[in-house]
Chain A
Amino acid sequence: AQKITQTQPGMFVQEKEAVTLDCTYDTSDQSYGLFWYKQPSSGEMIFLIYQGSYDEQNATEGRYSLNFQKARKSANLVISASQLGDSAMYFCAMIPWDSNYQLIWGAGTKLIIKP
């Protein structure tokens, strides 16, 4: 079965610290894509970063990086130098490429940055 697991329902982190949000996935597909989305209290889903299963290097976008460990089937999101505006729900998702572009979602992690 194809599945995304986010084991941290919530996290508190001090401002300016780095934070790692965990994501493990399960798929038998060789080709797949992994996504991280941010959902602030306003409700909009904001795309953060993408990692393809054949990408050899970890994806990075500004303060966001994806720690991709293919053998362990993990795709953790790392946020460096956290800011108050990072407080939000974070979702990990996967597209197994034999699907019709349907994302499989994790349950999410609520991140709260403390000043």
Chain B
Amino acid sequence: DVKVTQSSRYLVKRTGEKVFLECVQDMDHENMFWYRQDPGLGLRLIYFSYDVKMKEKGDIPEGYSVSREKKERFSLILESASTNQTSMYLCASSSPDLTLSPGTGADGYTFGSGTRLTVV
């Protein structure tokens, strides 16, 4: 019943490596988002996409890029990983209508389980 899937739960990479974080959703949502989550800072938006091949910068895009070649897949790329990119990364998707129903049946703004990335 998983609707937003992030490819890795835990990831350890070396400084300078190129890192790909993959996110796939099966709800036919137009909008997809990448956040990073750090203690005391909440969630901060990195990039979002409202259509295939479309992308918009969020609040903290520096050091990241994204790719949306297919509607269901939104990839976050760390061009040259650095230790300050150690964080929890969360992918989300939403429909433009943002229909809302609580609990696991939510069809509005749905998150993946997160990828905890450590850069050493």
- Residues from chain A with Cβ under 8 Å of B50 in the complex: 100
Check A50–B88 contact: CB distance below 8 A: no
A78 interface contact, C-beta 8 A: no
Interface string of A69-107 (1 = CB under 8 A from B): 000000000000000000000010101000011110111
CB distance from A94 to the nearest CB of B (A): 12
Check B112–A44 contact: CB distance below 8 A: yes
> What are some 14 contacts across the A-B interface (CB < 8 A)?
A43-B9, A43-B90, A43-B116, A44-B114, A45-B111, A46-B111, A49-B102, A61-B102, A61-B103, A91-B43, A100-B48, A100-B50, A101-B94, A102-B33
CB distance from B23 to the nearest CB of A (A): 13
Check B103–A102 contact: CB distance below 8 A: no
CB distance from A110 to the nearest CB of B (A): 9
Check A50–B100 contact: CB distance below 8 A: yes
Knowing A100-B56, A101-B96, A102-B58, the reply to whether A44 touches B111 (Cβ < 8 A) is yes
Interface string of A9-52 (1 = CB under 8 A from B): 10000000000000000000000010101000011111111100
Check B42–A108 contact: CB distance below 8 A: yes
Residues of B within 8 A of A (CB): 9, 31, 33, 40-45, 48, 50, 56, 58, 88, 90, 92, 94, 96, 98, 100, 102-104, 106, 108-114, 116
| Interface bin, chain A | 20 to 34
Check B42–A91 contact: CB distance below 8 A: yes
- Residues from chain A with Cβ under 8 Å of B110 in the complex: 47
Check A107–B40 contact: CB distance below 8 A: yes
Closest-by-CB residue of A relative to B35 is A105
CB distance from A73 to the nearest CB of B (A): 18
**Assembled-state Cα–Cα distance A47/B94 (Å):** 12
- Residues from chain B with Cβ under 8 Å of A33 in the complex: 98
- Residues from chain A with Cβ under 8 Å of B103 in the complex: 46-48, 61
CB distance from A69 to the nearest CB of B (A): 21
Contacting B48 at CB < 8 Å: which of A4, A93, A102? A102
- Residues from chain B with Cβ under 8 Å of A49 in the complex: 102
CB distance from A32 to the nearest CB of B (A): 12
Check A101–B98 contact: CB distance below 8 A: yes
